[in-house]
Structure 1
Amino acid sequence: MHFRNRLYLFALSSLLVLAGCADDQTQQNNETVGGEQDEYLPPLHENPDELFADAPKNDALPTEGKADAVYPAQFTELLETQSPVKSQGRRGVCSIFSTVALMEHLYIQEGTYLNPDFSEQYLQWSAKFEVGAFPNTSGSNARSNLDAIVRYGIVEEDVWPYESGGWTSSDDPACGEEDKPTRCYTNGEPPAEAADAEKWYLPRSRWISTRPNDIKAHMHTKKSAVIVGLDFFYQAWGHGGSPLTTSKEYSRNGYVFYPNEVDKEKSLENRAGHSILLVGWDDNLEVPRLDENGEPMVDDNGEPVVDKGFFIFKNSWGTGWAEESPYGAGYGFISMDYVEEYGRGRVAEAPEFEIPEEVCGDGLDNDGNGDVDCDDSVCSEHATCQETSDTQTYSNTESVAIPDNDENGITSTITIDDTGTIGAMSVNLDITHSYIGDLSVMLEGPNGDLAVLLDSSESSEDNFNGTIVVTEFEGVDAQGDWTLYVWDEAKYDEGTLNEWSLEVTY
């Protein structure tokens, strides 16, 4: 039997490639030799119907951009705002990776958060447990993944790092059963750190037509990449599970051509899918299509059959794939005809950030412009930045224990004997506490007005040692008693008010 046919049968019977369950040796080969086709078996999406679930066909979607718009022959500027290429390892979670790749790209493009690294592990769990999508398989799709991000948010990678292998019976006995519970597809539940961690969101998402001009219009006008879920054709991708001859040269360069008829037929016998992120295009790139024997195709007149016009895409098979791509290892080129006929597209809007105002006098660069307090132009008229201003500090260094879960709390007082109108005020707090989110802290002025300094929240951080700018008392006479109230409003964690002070600028 021909070696490739033996390989194909082996892939079907034992590697379970389509279920995303390639073995450890296969993963090692992928990472080290990449384009060596006899061993190249990256995991795929086991059920492409999931990738296309609820996706309308192109003729039911609106046209993007203007009908007479003219786009450049080559568009590559979005490659400048991509996060590093990642590998999905041995798990069939390509749609999770393409979704996170889009999210990281949008955060970089927005400009506030320049080095995002979000957790694929968390998104896989959220899509299945919070959204409830496809609980009985490892797969998902861009819509469900983006729904999870829009509705619930995801955490950063270091909070719940991605695990390249799926759970087996050695991780959980139930994962060896035929009807595995959903936790086997998510590698369990998020750790406590992930539950408490900051969540990151996108505003909304929608389907987009995969007609070439519609994708170009979106990329060019929105400056945003496009997720595409696709039917997978093994020979066209140079996948080692194909019974047909594949091209090492094409795979090294990341070329994915429109499939020939035999490739379509053979691929449907073991149907699979894949999800990628489109990040640009090249209208002038020409790549000969290959026939079932891996030779350049010719038409009835003996003329070469060439694919002209390719989208540039980011893949999730690591840097061992397309290692000679001109845009970097892990980036490929896929026929626009392939994408239009066999793909479904999804896009999302960039994150919405409200740039905070600079708080004059807290020692922080609140608005992120690189200037702090008086160095920031918005603080030029502030009392603390005037040469004629007089700043005095008043302190109470008496340590007071904060009773646990006590509605009466504690009080501590600073008496100011000086007279004068407050131009600016800040409070310096030094509190030791094992769960600062249990605390509420307020300041009462001599006039009876109150200012909230810390409000009880779900923060799991411990201790607080910092400065809080208070604007409520500007224009008030400083003389008199200033009272600090501290309450612990939950059980189990205790702490101490070590000291506090008032910094008043007259």
Structure 2
Amino acid sequence: MKFISILILLLSLTNLNAGEVAYESPYIEDSKALDDLHSVKSLLSSSNTHSLIKLQTSVKSQKSRGTCTMFTSIGLLEHLLIRERGYDKELDLSEEWLEYLIMTSKTSEGSSTSRNLKAIFNYGVVYEATLPYIGERWRALVDSPLAVKRCGEFSGMRLESCLLGHRDPYLLSMSDEEILETGDLNFIEIRNESRLLKDEIVEGILPLKKSYKIRKLSEVKRDLKEGRSVIVGMKLYYGSWNHSKTDKLSIQKRDKRKWYEGIVTYPEMGSVDRRISGKEGGGHSLILVGYDDERVITSKMLMEDGTWKEFSYKGVYYFKNSWGVRGSGRDFSLDGVSYPGYGMISQKYLHEFGSFYTIPKN
């Protein structure tokens, strides 16, 4: 304990933090939705995106942690509470709690929407004010004084899970008396609130399902047309996003204007982006808030033969991101209305590389 106290003091003085910004999670591939759009004639060519954005909570930032699915899972639940229960848009549930729940049984970053929603069903939620999000990624104890305080006595898998979830994973299954012995009194309050909100918030709006996957693309657009958001998980193709790794991986010259405008195109066959990001790309998760089958976006891609080619894509999905409001999507607007932190992505990209999820109606 004396060693840990000294280490905490040294870290506080030197202010050692994990400074790398990592916008992605490990890519977890899932099956794609059936493309049945050609056989469904009843869908409108666009949804009311403005109305659906009004049913979202504020754009958050996952900062340097691979927690995008926590933000989309919590964001979707918040959206449905606003839409169906009349909650205020200021509702703010804790992504930190969900990340902790998932990491109690994991030693690596990344999760899936279905796994997250099952954890919420089983353990409930807490408010952000009760357990605020910590944007630091803890790779080792030296990354933060708080990491030393909370995880410094552990080793092996328990340490790995603690660093990822920012708290001792064993606390979840301990009795109140056992938790008192650890000295983490705050966790008892957190867990009590999660049980209370499980009854007040989760039950009645989140049914338990084996999978929350959407099987057909027509169902994705039907949900959006009816004013219900959808989650999509996908592989990141950096060049198509104009992500900072476009430069770092020497994919092609980065178009920062498109990055700030939140425009995501498509990794064409034969492009450098298709090859490099196909090998190096992580995963990401978004909340979809609309679609427009007539909207056209364009791109220029560096091809493997060294030439540049221009492409256009008809049909986009509109999305809410978890990268804050000062980077991707900073300048995004729709019909003259500014929505920082939102963006648009070609339907071709998501139909080929995306998997869709929803909380079904009870």
| TMscore range, shorter length | 0.7 to 0.9
Select which of 249, 262, 270 maps to 1:254. 262
Kindly state the Cα deviation for residue 319 of structure 1 after the two structures are TM-superposed. Answer: 0.6
CA distance in 1, matches of 2:131, 2:65: 16
- Output the TM-score relative to the length of structure 2: 0.74
Select which of 290, 301, 323 maps to 1:280. 290
1:229 paired to 2:237:
no
Task: Indicate how the Cα distance of structure 1 residues 332 and 296 shifts in structure 2: closer, same or farther if over 3 A, else same.
Answer: farther
1:188 corresponds to? 167
1:305 corresponds to? 311
For structure 1, list consecutive stretches of 5 or more residues without a partner in the other structure: 1-21, 27-40, 299-303, 353-506
CA contact (8 A) 2:45 2:294 kept: no
CA contact (8 A) 1:74 1:284 kept: no
1:324 paired to 2:345:
no
Kindly state the Cα deviation for residue 43 of structure 1 after the two structures are TM-superposed. Answer: 2.1
2:100 corresponds to? 125
Task: Indicate how the Cα distance of structure 1 residues 74 and 67 shifts in structure 2: closer, same or farther if over 3 A, else same.
Answer: closer
1:338 paired to 2:349:
yes
1:356 corresponds to? none
Kindly state the Cα deviation for residue 282 of structure 1 after the two structures are TM-superposed. Answer: 2.3
2:133 corresponds to? 162
Task: Indicate how the Cα distance of structure 1 residues 181 and 23 shifts in structure 2: closer, same or farther if over 3 A, else same.
Answer: closer
Select which of 23, 34, 41 maps to 1:68. 41
Select which of 206, 213, 218 maps to 2:223. 218
For structure 2, list consecutive stretches of 5 or more residues without a partner in the other structure: 1-16, 169-185
Range with greater deviation from structure 2 (171-180 or 239-248):
171-180
Question: For residues 375-418 of structure 1, what are the alpha-carbon distances to aligned partners after superposition, in whole Å with 9 as ceiling and x for unaligned?
Answer: xxxxxxxxxxxxxxxxxxxxxxxxxxxxxxxxxxxxxxxxxxxx
CA contact (8 A) 2:60 2:322 kept: yes
CA contact (8 A) 1:297 1:305 kept: no
Question: For residues 334-367 of structure 1, what are the alpha-carbon distances to aligned partners after superposition, in whole Å with 9 as ceiling and x for unaligned?
Answer: 11010010011110036x7xxxxxxxxxxxxxxx
CA contact (8 A) 1:208 1:346 kept: yes
2:116 corresponds to? 145
CA distance in 2, matches of 1:178, 1:140: 17
For 1:147, give the aligned amino acid.
K
Q: Equivalent residue of 1:81, what SS?
A: coil
Once the two structures are superposed, the pairs formed by residues 104-503 of structure 1 within 5 Å of their partners are 104-114=78-88, 115-129=90-104, 132=105, 135-167=106-138, 168-170=140-142, 171=147, 172-173=151-152, 180-189=159-168, 191-197=187-193, 198-199=196-197, 200-201=201-202, 202-204=205-207, 206-209=212-215, 211=217, 213-221=218-226, 223-242=227-246, 243=250, 244-260=252-268, 261-292=271-302, 298=309, 304-321=310-327, 322-326=329-333, 327-349=338-360
Kindly state the Cα deviation for residue 288 of structure 1 after the two structures are TM-superposed. Answer: 1.2
CA distance in 2, matches of 1:175, 1:239: 37
Larger strand proportion of the pair: 1
Kindly state the Cα deviation for residue 249 of structure 1 after the two structures are TM-superposed. Answer: 1.0
- Give the greater-gyration-radius structure (CA): 1
CA distance in 1, matches of 2:221, 2:344: 15
CA distance in 1, matches of 2:23, 2:154: 19
Query: C-alpha root-mean-square deviation of aligned residues, in Å?
Result: 2.8
For 2:313, give the aligned amino acid.
D
CA distance in 2, matches of 1:266, 1:137: 23
For 1:48, give the aligned amino acid.
Y
Kindly state the Cα deviation for residue 286 of structure 1 after the two structures are TM-superposed. Answer: 1.5
2:5 corresponds to? none
Aligned residue pair count: 296
Kindly state the Cα deviation for residue 128 of structure 1 after the two structures are TM-superposed. Answer: 3.3
CA contact (8 A) 1:210 1:339 kept: no
1:383 corresponds to? none
CA distance in 2, matches of 1:264, 1:176: 40
Q: Equivalent residue of 1:88, what SS?
A: coil
Q: Equivalent residue of 2:58, what SS?
A: coil
CA distance in 2, matches of 1:227, 1:138: 19
Kindly state the Cα deviation for residue 297 of structure 1 after the two structures are TM-superposed. Answer: 5.9
Kindly state the Cα deviation for residue 107 of structure 1 after the two structures are TM-superposed. Answer: 0.7
- Output the TM-score relative to the length of structure 1: 0.54
CA distance in 1, matches of 2:233, 2:257: 25
CA contact (8 A) 2:18 2:137 kept: no
Task: Indicate how the Cα distance of structure 1 residues 94 and 269 shifts in structure 2: closer, same or farther if over 3 A, else same.
Answer: same
Task: Indicate how the Cα distance of structure 1 residues 328 and 195 shifts in structure 2: closer, same or farther if over 3 A, else same.
Answer: same
Kindly state the Cα deviation for residue 56 of structure 1 after the two structures are TM-superposed. Answer: 3.6
Task: Indicate how the Cα distance of structure 1 residues 86 and 288 shifts in structure 2: closer, same or farther if over 3 A, else same.
Answer: same
Kindly state the Cα deviation for residue 111 of structure 1 after the two structures are TM-superposed. Answer: 3.4
Task: Indicate how the Cα distance of structure 1 residues 284 and 176 shifts in structure 2: closer, same or farther if over 3 A, else same.
Answer: farther
For 2:314, give the aligned amino acid.
K
For 1:276, give the aligned amino acid.
L
CA distance in 1, matches of 2:102, 2:58: 23
Question: For residues 438-477 of structure 1, what are the alpha-carbon distances to aligned partners after superposition, in whole Å with 9 as ceiling and x for unaligned?
Answer: xxxxxxxxxxxxxxxxxxxxxxxxxxxxxxxxxxxxxxxx
Kindly state the Cα deviation for residue 203 of structure 1 after the two structures are TM-superposed. Answer: 2.0
